[in-house]
Amino acid sequence: MTDTFAARVREMNADAPASAFVEVFGCQQNEHDGELIRGMLADMGFGFTQDAALAKVVVLNTCAVREHAEQRVLGHLGAIGRAGGSPGRIVAVCGCMAQLENSQNTLKRSYGHVNLVFGPGDLARFPELLYTALTKGGRHFNQSDPTAPPEEGLPVLRAAPPRALVTVMKGCDNFCSYCVVPHTRGRERSRAPEAVLGEVRGLIRQGYCEIMLLGQNVNSYRPNPDSAGIRDFPELLAALASLPGDFSLRFMTSHPKDASDKLFSVMGAYGKIAPFLHLPAQSGSSRVLAAMNRGYTREHYIALTERARAAVPGLNLTSDIMVGFPGETEDDFGETLGLLEKVRFNSLFTFIYSPRPETPAANLDGVPPPEVVKKRFARLLETQKRIEATL
């Protein structure tokens, strides 16, 4: 069906190919979805332009992880609206922000030039949705199915080698209390191992030698039991690392509650798996971790990193740390600084808590005052800088 709609749009472009403008915000999963969007647009006969005002189709693949990310998208959308465009232009907003009711209402109310909205689960329907918008006019707001299986066989327009992004699973079932991802990307769905292996084999043949495996929580990878005998992420990783060719594998992201000794031992056993582990701690306080619904304690986290380092020589360990979660006290923050001193991460991604719609944490009291959060954030950065200088 998708092919039928793609063919119809291709026909519309046959005589004079129109141009498309695609802008991607946010994480690597979004980046890869952007490659699929570009792939589908190319397959439908579009060329590409860097100027949204010259494009027949404008696509913003958005991020909703923090309020700041949404504000950036809205800023860009406003500029695109003010710059104007050709009659009949389609301005599409997709990605995480597009799935949230709040954001859809904002787009409906204040961004009248946006005429197509769809969430991350509707990626495979893009040709159909675009065809409808192009031929029927009007405004089309869609809510994607949070249980839709990961799409297979979509055209993809990747950046040139060496690096290629490959999805292994989508969605997240963890419902960390601050996180919008389970509401935007839906439940966990794993790709079949054969599909991932086939894609990576093809990429190696095309000269891609840095393969990045993607999933909101790769350690929750659970394919159907009948496929290829592979039951979990460490087994998939081992199978990929056994493929012939000169390439390396990385993966992102690992949830500490699901990272296992089996994963570490596979990482240590195969030279093709880069000794790199991103293990988001978020906080060093077990009390805050419980309020975040992270499913592990400070002690569990520290023990996990010790086992990972023992199993993977030269491990490069990175993490995410959030400051200013509701109820975070000076003592809690001190525990986070203590965690940094204890674990000595190679680098950190640091964030200030941002309440997100549809998440339980958005209803919690006790967000520390902004000036306190600012000071804690500065201390966090200073501490990490000092540690990194001694590594």
Chain residues in the site for ligand SF4 (CB under 6 A):
172, 174-176, 179, 181-182, 216-217, 255
List, in order, residues 6 or more apart from 238 with CB less than 8 Å away: 266, 269, 270
Nearer to ligand SF4 among residue 104 and residue 253 (C-beta): 253
Q: What are phi and psi of 390, to 5 degrees?
A: -100, 0
DSSP 8-class letter at 345:
-
The minimum distance between CB 341 and ligand SF4, in angstroms, equals: 24
Nearer to ligand SF4 among residue 210 and residue 358 (C-beta): 358
Q: What are the structure tokens assigned to 390, written together?
A: 């001694």
The minimum distance between CB 221 and ligand SF4, in angstroms, equals: 13
Nearer to ligand SF4 among residue 64 and residue 200 (C-beta): 64
The minimum distance between CB 83 and ligand SF4, in angstroms, equals: 34
Give me the half-sphere count of Cα atoms (radius 13 Å) on the Cβ side of residue 256: 27
Length of the chain: 391
The minimum distance between CB 179 and ligand SF4, in angstroms, equals: 3
Residue 272, helix vs strand vs coil: coil
Q: Whose structure tokens read 């909703």?
A: 64
Residue 87, helix vs strand vs coil: coil
The minimum distance between CB 56 and ligand SF4, in angstroms, equals: 35
Q: Whose structure tokens read 């190679």?
A: 346
The minimum distance between CB 47 and ligand SF4, in angstroms, equals: 35
Nearer to ligand SF4 among residue 177 and residue 305 (C-beta): 177
Nearer to ligand SF4 among residue 172 and residue 238 (C-beta): 172
Cα separations in angstroms, 7 against 4, 10, 34, 153 = 5, 5, 20, 16
Nearer to ligand SF4 among residue 96 and residue 339 (C-beta): 96
Interatomic CA distance for residues 73 and 63, integer angstroms: 8
Nearer to ligand SF4 among residue 20 and residue 259 (C-beta): 259
The minimum distance between CB 152 and ligand SF4, in angstroms, equals: 22
Q: Report helix angle 233-241 to 193-205, nearest 10.
A: 30
Nearer to ligand SF4 among residue 115 and residue 217 (C-beta): 217
The minimum distance between CB 308 and ligand SF4, in angstroms, equals: 18
Interatomic CA distance for residues 252 and 259, integer angstroms: 12
Question: Long-range contacts: 110-117, Cβ < 8 Å, 24+?
Answer: 111/74, 111/77, 111/78, 111/81, 112/81, 113/77, 113/80, 113/81, 114/77, 114/139, 115/90, 115/91, 115/139, 115/140, 116/90, 116/91, 116/92, 116/140, 117/92, 117/93, 117/141, 117/142
